[in-house]
């Protein structure tokens, strides 16, 4: 299964990807986690990314695509993957399509977690207090939601036009949301099989 999880920052993409990876038998590939690891390690790319992320901005497409290509070339991603946090704009969606075509791993499905902004701000505020992540500061989250609405929300339309998009309600108990995502994937694979 080659899956993209879409949704605003704090919508639960990472949580759902972590829950789905065992069920699907494929790795959870989070560009956010890759970037945070580079920041924590103090790499040159990590230091550049930190300044951008702390300001509530997004890291450049070239850096992310290169990191992603390297990750998808690893052995554990050959049977598929769950992408979380990428693509986040139309240029990345197009670049991802070309990359996946080149490596012979086209997407099977795209699931968008739909969560109201006020719920997201509340979730991120809790995570900010617990983990201290600068990008979960409530003011930064609001900036990130504005960027998402402008740049990332159109990606859902990109995949809807290709018949790949499933929209899932991302509010509720974790098990309930995971069950909704699995039903959407089952429906997508049944449709693809026809």
137: Cβ contacts below 8 Å, ≥ 6 apart:
128
Is 82's pLDDT higher than 80?
yes
Is 32's pLDDT higher than 80?
no
Helix pair 44-54, 61-72: axis angle to 10 deg: 130
Residue 24 · residue 80 · CB < 8 Å: yes
pLDDT tens digits, one per residue of 116-147 = 999 999 988 888 888 887 788 888 889 989 98
Per-residue pLDDT, averaged over 1-12, amounts to: 93
187: which 2 tokens?
């429906």
Q: How far apart are CA 47 and CA 40, in angstroms?
A: 9
**Sign of the torsion formed by the C-alpha atoms of 1, 97, 156 and 91:** positive
DSSP 30: E
| Best CA proximity match to 162, nearest among 72, 90, 85 | 90
pLDDT tens digits, one per residue of 142-171 = 998 998 889 888 999 999 999 999 999 999
Q: How far apart are CA 163 and CA 146, in angstroms?
A: 26
- The upper half-sphere exposure of residue 130, i.e. CA atoms within 13 Å in the direction of its Cβ, equals 6
Positions of E strands within the chain: 2-6, 28-30, 81-84, 109-114, 165-169
For the whole model, what pTM was predicted? Answer: 0.83
83: which 2 tokens?
């992408």
Is 13's pLDDT higher than 60?
yes
Q: How far apart are CA 56 and CA 77, in angstroms?
A: 30
Q: How far apart are CA 141 and CA 37, in angstroms?
A: 20
91: which 2 tokens?
């240029």
Pick the range with the lowest mean pLDDT from 65-69, 89-93, 167-171: 65-69
Instruction: Please tell me the predicted confidence (pLDDT) of residue 110.
Output: 96
CATH of domain 2-193: 3.40.50.300
Is 194's pLDDT higher than 60?
no
- pLDDT classification of 193: cutoffs 50, 70, 90: low
Give the other-Cβ count within 10 Å of 132's Cβ.
Answer: 9
71 or 2, higher pLDDT: 2
């Amino acid at each position: 299964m080659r899956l993209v999880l879409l949704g605003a920052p704090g919508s639960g993409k990472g949580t759902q990807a972590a829950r789905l990876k065992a069920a699907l038998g494929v790795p959870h590939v989070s560009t956010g986690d890759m970037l945070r690891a580079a920041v924590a390690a103090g790499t040159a790319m990590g230091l550049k990314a930190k300044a951008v992320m702390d300001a509530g901005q997004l890291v450049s497409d070239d850096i992310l695509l290169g990191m992603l290509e390297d990750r998808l070339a690893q052995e554990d991603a050959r049977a598929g993957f769950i992408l979380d946090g990428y693509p986040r704009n139309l240029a990345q969606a197009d670049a991802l399509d070309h990359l996946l075509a080149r490596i012979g791993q086209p997407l099977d499905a795209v699931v968008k977690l739909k969560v109201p902004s006020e719920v997201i701000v509340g979730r991120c505020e809790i995570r900010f207090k617990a983990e201290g992540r600068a990008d979960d500061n409530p003011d930064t989250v609001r900036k990130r939601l504005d960027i998402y609405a402008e740049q990332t929300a159109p990606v859902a339309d990109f995949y809807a036009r290709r018949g790949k998009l499933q929209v899932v309600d991302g509010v509720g108990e974790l098990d309930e949301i995971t069950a909704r995502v699995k039903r959407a994937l089952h429906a997508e694979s049944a449709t693809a099989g026809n």
